[in-house]
């Protein structure tokens, strides 16, 4: 008889648990419905760091990468490493440098198309080539996969739901941007600060930062973006800080007079971009970022959510 009572208690408890779970699921569904949904478009030239920001959102808001993701990234990282090594060897031959002088070649990487992430992986070459190598989150952030087409990620950010859309930044990909403008409430434009002495992969006669500057100018004066709020991420600030100690910003902007001063360089570039959009009716918010630094990105995104997003929601009548 005691056994029968125990069985009934278990059955009753199971029913209660199922009921509670059903209620909890319904609460979560209703909560999601009540969240303010925001559509955000990330723009910028190739290799500015757009995809790295998307990967950071995966780490911060989605718990990181799945095992199947890591298997694919492992392949890509090894491919990246082989490509970086090949580019360095070819540069040594073309510029008559000693093959053993990897450091010298890397320091002159602005003369050829070597990704910023090359040194990170070359320093880890022994570990990466081990059979049991498993990519870390940081490895994935530094992994380079050119964006083609359109990708998007939806996640909760505080009381809001963000849908972030990433499109390829190379010239051949930009024609696809026009199809993503509908219903966009916020633009995030990413500038690679450190590329002021580098040339485009697509056109070796064009300076990368000048290309980004020109593209921002076009966007600022494009009717499709009229009255759209914009956040500018001046990215790769860590690389910029190291580079400006040796490379004068004047080679990109002849009117720059700040010399090798890091803060002067930052302020000058920010002012240049803001001046280009001074006739725009949109609100422009600026942040200096390092997309491979998860804590930095998290702080910046929190700031964007608190200040910019509230501004957007008020304009849309959602607050």
Whether 100 shows a pLDDT value over 80: the answer reads no
- Looking at the chain, the whole-number percentage of residues with pLDDT higher than 90 is 42
Indicate whether 310 pLDDT > 80: no
Specify whether 196 is located in the same domain as 111. no
pTM: 0.81
Residue 76 sits in which domain range?
67-142
Co-location of 182 and 76 in the same domain:
no
User: Is 17 among the domain residues?
Assistant: no
Residue 204 phi, psi dihedral angles, 5° rounding:
-70, -5
- What is the C-alpha R_g of the chain? 24
Q: Could you tell me if 208 and 276 lie in one domain?
A: yes
Listed range (1-5, 242-246, 295-299) with the worst mean pLDDT: 1-5
Distance (Å, rounded) from C-alpha 164 to C-alpha 141? 17
Q: Compute the average pLDDT of residues 121-131.
A: 90
Catalytic residues: 47, 52, 144, 166, 170
Of the listed ranges 57-66, 166-175, 179-188, 290-299, the least confidently predicted one is 166-175
Q: Cα 307 from chain centroid?
A: 20
Task: Enumerate long-range contacts of 21-25, CB under 8 Å, 24 or more apart.
Answer: none
Shared-domain flag, residues 77 and 210: no
Same domain, 117 and 157: no
142 is in an annotated binding site: yes
Same domain for 205 and 261?
yes
77/58 same-domain check: no
Q: Is residue 32 domain-resident?
A: no
Q: Judge if 254 and 115 occupy the same domain.
A: no
Answer yes or no: is 75 a known binding residue.
no
Q: Which two tokens stand for residue 82?
A: 């082989």
Q: Any binding-site annotation on 157?
A: no
CA–CA–CA angle 185, 235, 48 (5° rounding): 80
Residue 131 lies inside a defined structural domain of this protein: yes
Mean of per-residue pLDDT scores for the chain: 82
Q: Report the number of distinct structural domains present in the chain.
A: 2
Residue 235 assigned to a binding site = yes
The answer to whether 214 is a known ligand-binding residue is no
pLDDT at 269 over 90: yes
Does residue 22 form part of some domain? Answer: no
Confidence of residue 238 (pLDDT cuts 50, 70, 90): very high
Nearest Cα neighbor of 40 from 188, 168, 262 is 188
Residues 6+ apart with CB under 8 A from 215: 43, 44, 45, 174
One domain, residues 273 and 173:
yes
In a domain, 192, yes or no: yes
Residues 135 and 281 in one domain: no
- Reply yes or no on whether the pLDDT at 101 is more than 90: no
Same domain, 115 and 161: no
Does the annotation list 47 as a binding residue? Answer: yes
Q: Is a pLDDT exceeding 60 seen at residue 97?
A: no
């Amino acid at each position: 008889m005691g056994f029968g009572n125990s069985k009934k208690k278990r059955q009753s408890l199971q029913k209660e648990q199922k009921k509670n779970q059903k209620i909890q699921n319904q609460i979560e569904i209703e909560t999601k419905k009540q969240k303010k949904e925001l559509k955000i478009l990330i723009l910028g030239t190739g290799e500015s760091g757009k995809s790295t920001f998307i990967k950071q959102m995966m780490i911060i808001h989605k718990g990181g990468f799945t095992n199947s993701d890591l298997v694919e990234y492992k392949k890509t990282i090894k491919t990246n490493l082989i490509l970086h090594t090949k580019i360095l060897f070819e540069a040594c031959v073309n510029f008559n440098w000693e093959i053993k002088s990897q450091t010298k070649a890397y320091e002159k990487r602005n003369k050829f198309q070597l990704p910023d992430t090359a040194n990170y992986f070359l320093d880890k070459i022994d570990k990466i080539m081990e059979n049991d190598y498993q990519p870390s989150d940081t490895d994935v952030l530094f992994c380079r996969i050119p964006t083609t087409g359109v990708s998007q990620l939806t996640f909760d950010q505080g009381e809001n739901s963000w849908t972030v859309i990433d499109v390829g930044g190379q010239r051949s990909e930009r024609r696809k941007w026009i199809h993503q403008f509908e219903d966009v409430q916020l633009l995030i434009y990413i500038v690679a600060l450190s590329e002021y002495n580098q040339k485009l992969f697509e056109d070796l006669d064009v300076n990368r930062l000048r290309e980004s500057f020109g593209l921002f100018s076009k966007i600022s004066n494009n009717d499709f973006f009229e009255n759209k709020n914009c956040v500018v991420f001046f990215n790769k600030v860590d690389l910029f800080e190291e580079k400006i100690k040796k490379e004068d910003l004047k080679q990109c902007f002849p009117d720059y007079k700040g010399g090798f001063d890091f803060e002067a360089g930052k302020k000058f570039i920010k002012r240049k971009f803001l001046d280009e959009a001074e006739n725009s009716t949109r609100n422009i918010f600026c942040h200096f970022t390092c997309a491979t630094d998860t804590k930095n990105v998290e702080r910046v995104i929190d700031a964007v959510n608190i200040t910019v997003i509230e501004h957007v929601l008020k304009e849309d009548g959602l607050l």
